[in-house]
Chain A
Amino acid sequence: MTGPGTGTGPAPAGWRPALSSAVSLRHDRVRDADLLLLPERVVVLRGSAAKILRLCDGDRDLDAIVAELRSRFPGAPVAEDVPAFLDRMRGEGWVR
């Protein structure tokens, strides 16, 4: 993906990830699932995706998000996985 609407290339220095205003993150009680709701789409989040996205408050930078997750999930490969996941979310335009 390219163009002004979505994020491409390396993340900007000092990036503080935040959910795009077009998406809404919700817990679905009926299906016991975490969802990203978009204008014409519903994305069912798997694994720890929702836990990571909940930390994208526009305040924490990437290091802070990784540190927070590392303390919650000792031993998990957060340092590699989380930045890669957030980069993909930025590519989709769901996180900016």
Chain B
Amino acid sequence: MTAAPRPWALLAELTHGCPLHCPYCSNPLELVRRSRELSTAEWTEVMRQAGELGVVHTHLSGGEPLLRGDLAGIVTAAESAGIYTQLVTSGVGLDGARLATLTAAGLRSVQLSLQHADPAASDRIAGHRSYAAKERAAALVRAAGLPLGINVVLHRDNLDALDAIIERGLDWGADRIELANTQFYGWALRNRDALLPTRDQLGRARDTVQRWRDRLGGATDLVWVVPDYFDGVAKPCMGGWGAVSLTVAPDGTVLPCPAAASLPDLDPPNVRDHPLEWIWDHSGAFNRYRGEDWMREPCRTCSRRAEDFGGCRCQAYALTGDAARTDPACALSPDHGVIRALTTDPGHPAGAGTPAPTGGYAYRKPGG
């Protein structure tokens, strides 16, 4: 086996604790309890090893990373390891003093989540009164001179408000607005009936994004993360399994992608047991779907396999029970029917012209 290319990026899930309860949260259904979290010293060591492995970029994420009182120490550890740090936060818990400490520790940029442009709707989707804290956090980040990204997960409940959402991001001074259509695994899969948009909604949203891009001409980056249920095209998940980045969960479990915690037989390694370099190069979990050897037809001989890597393993597992199958989002997948049925059947909300009523979420909470 030739050595795997070195990873560029680390997603550090510092805690699964979060004051918000977003129904599409990318954390696993089974949240790691706070008592099992890595200590400051353990995260410091993770950052040191990650830097030696070739990681140059980290998202300090969660849950809500601000719940970690030792966050500044972790930022310093990353910075000393030569790793660029971006805080990924709901904004709840950020005040001027906290941000000053983080900036002094070397924090480089902040990505702030927003659920909706309307304060009441944002709070309803988040399951927590948090809009005011977000607005405040954005102003603090701007005042500190850090680059600000706004991240909005899009779904049936907010796609029609896209104009207002983009305006809000611009008002708040964002350098970059990420409009990420919901990816359906974990909590989002559980809430799929309530979150799945209609084709019409998506068509209008795409037009809206194009209009804003023309108007802004690149001054603010508008990133559109495609809704893979609707295009018949599988997404190049994580840039390939174990190819570009790794995720360290709050308890030290290391995963090729944050959703991979849902794969039942992966047996993921832990930084408490193994060095990161061994995990990346030699662990079964990281080699399982690396490269192309694991692929079956139709991926195995498909001309697109080097571009999309056969799509998302977690989605293949969630929808077919077998993680090694072609991602059902792909129109060439023999299982594509399970997705087509949801997005074209006029009897189903997403196939019909009018959206079903919104809300009725199973909010993210400990204990699934």
Residues of A within 8 A of B (CB): 1-6, 21-22, 24, 26, 28-31, 35, 37-40, 42
Q: How far is the CB of A65 from chain B (nearest CB, A)?
A: 24
**DSSP class of A's interface residues: helix, strand, loop or mixed?**
loop
Count contacts on B: residues with CB < 8 A to the other chain: 27
Q: How would residues 171 to 213 of chain B score, 1 for a CB under 8 Å from any chain A CB and 0 otherwise?
A: 0000110100000000000000000000000000000000000
> B217 to chain A: which residues have CB within 8 Å?
1-3
Do A30 and B52 have beta carbons less than 8 Å apart? yes
Residues of B within 8 A of A (CB): 6, 8-9, 52-54, 56-57, 82, 84, 86, 108-109, 111, 145-147, 149, 175-176, 178, 216-220, 223
> B9 to chain A: which residues have CB within 8 Å?
42
A21, B176: Cα distance in complex, Å: 15
Do B54 and A31 have beta carbons less than 8 Å apart? yes
> A22 to chain B: which residues have CB within 8 Å?
108-109, 147, 175
> Contacts A2-B218, A3-B218 given: A21-B147 contact, CB under 8 Å?
yes
Do A40 and B220 have beta carbons less than 8 Å apart? no
Do B52 and A4 have beta carbons less than 8 Å apart? no
Contact of A5 among B111, B146, B175 (CB under 8 A): B175
Do B56 and A42 have beta carbons less than 8 Å apart? yes
Q: How far is the CB of A36 from chain B (nearest CB, A)?
A: 10
> Contacts A24-B108, A28-B56, A37-B56 given: A42-B216 contact, CB under 8 Å?
no
Do A30 and B6 have beta carbons less than 8 Å apart? yes
Do B219 and A21 have beta carbons less than 8 Å apart? no
